[in-house]
Chain A
Amino acid sequence: MKLFGYQLPAMSSLILWGILWELTGRLDVTFFVPPLSEVLETLFSIIGTPVFVKALSETAYAFTMGVIASIVIGIPVGILMGKNRLLDELLLPWVNIFLSAPLTALVPVLMVLFGFGMKSIIITTTLFAIWIIILNSRAGVMQINRSLVEMAHSFGASPIDAFIKIYFWAALPEILGGVRIGVIRAVKGVIIGQLLISIVGFGALFELYSSNFLMAHFWAVLVVLFALAFTIAEFLAYLERRVAYYAAKR
């Protein structure tokens, strides 16, 4: 964007919102919103503490495992659904139901099934992320140009060659889009899991700070979480742009 002829750096609108936040905090509108400067000060004071590092590593572990599980299961399932009509008919209704279902309501069921530990949190994270990855991989495969498949077949491609060299690459732009949205949903999943199942990680920090009205601490953790999610999402968006040169011309 340009302002008075000057090229503004990316995300400069955040500065404006930051100033607004600071002003709201200083006006003492509500104890719930401390000034941004105070939040950032708190952030730097807690970021190296053992409590914070432990929370971060617990959250990162559950998040990473959940995302890996949903990618490793979701992409092949989606591709197979796009290729196989029968499998598609069998699974598509369930995928659509779970995509739009209020998954938070399912968490107590997961606790009964898988206990109160890390396993249930990872499964919750996976359940938040996987459905959109399946749907997008499926959509990517379904729009594949039939002649590419025939071409590979006519040159004698084995099914595994066709899968790796044609289907995966042809569906990659959609797959990456699905993974990006799935990862954002996984952030939600991991925090909800940590709040509802066992109070660990960032979930525990949110619980602790909000029940003690430590609003600056609360916001500081939220800012860290947002920054992490944003960085991962932007990295995936960058990968998406890397394949955009052929996405529009398949």
Chain B
Amino acid sequence: MPQTKEVIATPDTREIDYAVRARGISKSFGDVEALRNLSLDFPRGQLTSVLGPSGCGKTTLLKIIAGLLAPTSGEVEVNGKPVTGPGPDRAFVFQDFALLPWASTLRNVAFGLELRGVAKSERESIAEKYIRDFGLTGFENSYPHELSGGMRQRVGLARALSVDAQVLLMDEPFSAVDEQTRRKFQEDLLSLVQQENKTFIFVTHSIEEAVYVSDQVAILLPRPSRVSEIIRPTSFRNKGTDSIRRDPEYLDIVDKIWESLRSYVE
């Protein structure tokens, strides 16, 4: 952890340890070009958000990193190894939660471990720990349709964390929950990044959310899709969660990003 903070203070690219590197990624769906020659690096132990207007290929990039989609050209490396498909070093959090509707909270949280062949008693004791951590105690035997949207996404987060992957890929994880729950999730995410020494890749279309939660914000622009800018907030990251939204640098960055994005929003 202390090492990570040093890295933020000295933005020398050679000293940063990257968990994930995307190099020259292009992806076409038929005639539609989703990504063109996109390169982006993700520092270890930090949260990088990928921000951009809709249709700029954010989710496509995330799915390529996850190994769910193959790039047309280019390569993704996780810990120096090229990605050829999904792997135990990455876990995915879905926008629509992707919970098994026929399974209880306990089984859903443990489902990632179940697919990896962990024995029932072991995976359930791990799942119970994350159920406690995510405030789902008492709902172990509830089914997804009995839970609120916020609780469902906590199940999704608990499932992703319980497999103990080094890289967490989050595809607009808070966009389907209500505004107040969303703010709480953003605060919780900050402490999660602090506690867990994991690399978070966070796709969002909300400027405020991206600036609030990120160590590094990559702005993607469409037509053709590319990384137009990388912003690293410096001054407010170590302040309390409740003062960030009033910090002058926070407000400046939000304004600046809106300036560069507004021309792409019809």
Q: Within residues 147 to 161 of chain A, which ones have a CB less than 8 A from any CB in chain B?
A: 147-148, 150-157, 161
Verify A250–B101 contact, CB threshold 8 A.
Answer: yes
Contact of A150 among B87, B94, B116 (CB under 8 A): B94
Contact of A148 among B90, B100, B143 (CB under 8 A): B100
Verify A154–B101 contact, CB threshold 8 A.
Answer: no
Contact of A155 among B86, B97, B101, B143 (CB under 8 A): B86
> Is the CB of B163 closer than 8 A to any CB of chain A?
yes
Could you tell me the distance in whole angstroms from the C-beta of A143 to the nearest C-beta in chain B? 13
Chain A residues in 8 Å Cβ range of B115: 152, 155-157, 161, 165
Chain A residues in 8 Å Cβ range of B144: 246, 249
With A150-B92, A150-B94, A246-B143 as known contacts, state yes or no: A155 contacts B102, CB within 8 Å: no
* Secondary structure dominating the interface of B: loop
> Is the CB of B82 closer than 8 A to any CB of chain A?
no
> Is the CB of B35 closer than 8 A to any CB of chain A?
no
Chain B residues in 8 Å Cβ range of A250: 101
Verify B96–A154 contact, CB threshold 8 A.
Answer: no
Q: Within residues 132 to 158 of chain A, which ones have a CB less than 8 A from any CB in chain B?
A: 145, 147-148, 150-157
> Is the CB of A51 closer than 8 A to any CB of chain B?
no
Could you tell me the distance in whole angstroms from the C-beta of A103 to the nearest C-beta in chain B? 35
Could you tell me the distance in whole angstroms from the C-beta of B141 to the nearest C-beta in chain A? 13
Chain A residues in 8 Å Cβ range of B91: 154-155
Could you tell me the distance in whole angstroms from the C-beta of A3 to the nearest C-beta in chain B? 35
> Is the CB of B42 closer than 8 A to any CB of chain A?
no
Verify A154–B90 contact, CB threshold 8 A.
Answer: yes
What size tier do the contact residues of chain B reach?
20 to 34
Verify B102–A145 contact, CB threshold 8 A.
Answer: no
Chain B residues in 8 Å Cβ range of A47: none
Could you tell me the distance in whole angstroms from the C-beta of B99 to the nearest C-beta in chain A? 8
Verify B145–A249 contact, CB threshold 8 A.
Answer: yes
Contact of B66 among A152, A154, A169 (CB under 8 A): A154
Verify B92–A156 contact, CB threshold 8 A.
Answer: no
Verify B98–A151 contact, CB threshold 8 A.
Answer: yes
With A155-B116, A169-B102 as known contacts, state yes or no: A147 contacts B94, CB within 8 Å: yes
Cα distance A133–B67 in the bound complex, in angstroms: 35
Verify B143–A154 contact, CB threshold 8 A.
Answer: no
Nearest residue (CB) in B for A249 is B145
> Is the CB of A245 closer than 8 A to any CB of chain B?
yes
With A245-B143, A249-B144, A249-B145 as known contacts, state yes or no: A155 contacts B98, CB within 8 Å: no
5 closest pairs, A vs B, by CB? A246-B101, A147-B98, A151-B98, A154-B92, A155-B115
Residues of B whose CB lies within 8 Å of any CB of A are 63, 66-68, 86-88, 90-92, 94-98, 100-102, 111-112, 114-116, 143-145, 163
Q: List 13 A-B contacts (CB under 8 A).
A: A147-B95, A147-B97, A150-B94, A151-B98, A154-B66, A154-B86, A155-B112, A156-B87, A169-B100, A246-B143, A246-B144, A249-B101, A250-B101
